[in-house]
Structure 1
Amino acid sequence: MDADLARFLRDELGHAPEAGAGPWPESWNVRGPVWLWQGSDGAPTKGAWYFLTIDGETAQAIRAGAVNAAAWGSVYVEATVGGTTWRTSLFPSKAHGGWLLPLKAAVRKAEKIVDGTEVEAVLVLA
């Protein structure tokens, strides 16, 4: 993993998700712009990491529904954007008060997503 990305994730991580009491929906719809993470020097990094921010009530509901935290307090999800579905992890973010959904290159290519593209994602805890 890119050292700058590892530092970024360490700085961004909030507390590990806590198990909570339901009920919560089987899935959440999240809409927002995709953004490109900039390295510590403000320039795009070699790996070009893109994220969708999940905040507000949806972030709280995911935190309440997540019973199995993974590395760095991340939560396993199945995500769908457009016609593409994949398994990934949401990373907690102190700066955004919620979660970050990474969008890998194969997803961005299949769905023609670039920095600033408004997307809708459907998330299901995995």
Structure 2
Amino acid sequence: MRTEAGISIGGASRASTVEGRGVADSYSFTAPLWEWPSRANWFFVSVPKEHSEDIADRPLPPRGFGSVRVRVHVGATSWTTSIFPDSDGTYSLPIKSQVRRKRGIEPGEEIGAELDVQIELLD
């Protein structure tokens, strides 16, 4: 579920594939924004453990650092990025600076996000 305010809470749901590139599943959640301690000005939200476990169990093509390609929706703003596995068993979702500025999101603030896990369809 997407909302203009960027608050979307819920579980996983199936979505259909589209012309050579598809969406395996969509995941909606709310999580706090945090700054990566090793690198200033890099901000993330953690994908909840249950969603991260489901994504990790999917047979997706291998990508660098175990990343998974996603389409992200925060309110009316959407972009394509990758999520990265973390040592705690969750994925970290980078939140672009222009999204943080546009929506006035500060570290520690809870934000709603929807991830569409993208897959490459082979011929």
**TM-score normalised per structure 2:** 0.71
Structure 1 residue ranges, 4+ long, deviating more than 2 angstroms after superposition: none
**The structure with more helix, counted as a fraction of residues:** 1
Matched AA of 1:60: E
Q: Corresponding residue for 2:29?
A: 30
Q: Indicate how the Cα distance of structure 1 residues 108 and 66 shifts in structure 2: closer, same or farther if over 3 A, else same.
A: farther
**The structure with more strand, counted as a fraction of residues:** 2
| Cα contact 1:79–1:121 (8 A) shared by 2 | yes
Percent identity of equivalent pairs: 32
Matched AA of 1:76: R
Secondary structure of the residue aligned to 2:111 is: strand
Stretches of structure 2 lacking an aligned partner (at least 5 in a row): 1-12, 15-24, 119-123
| Cα contact 1:54–1:98 (8 A) shared by 2 | yes
Q: In 2, distance between residues paired with 1:68 and 1:97?
A: 19
Partner of residue 116 from structure 1, selected from 108, 113, 118: 108
Q: Corresponding residue for 1:61?
A: 54
Stretches of structure 1 lacking an aligned partner (at least 5 in a row): 1-23
Deviation at 1:66, TM superposition (A): 5.1
Q: In 1, distance between residues paired with 2:63 and 2:29?
A: 21
Q: In 2, distance between residues paired with 1:73 and 1:56?
A: 16
| Cα contact 1:54–1:100 (8 A) shared by 2 | yes
Post-superposition CA distance 1:73-110 (Å, at most 9, x none): 1000001111110000000001x311000001111112
Aligned length: 97
Q: Corresponding residue for 2:67?
A: 74
Q: Indicate how the Cα distance of structure 1 residues 89 and 103 shifts in structure 2: closer, same or farther if over 3 A, else same.
A: same
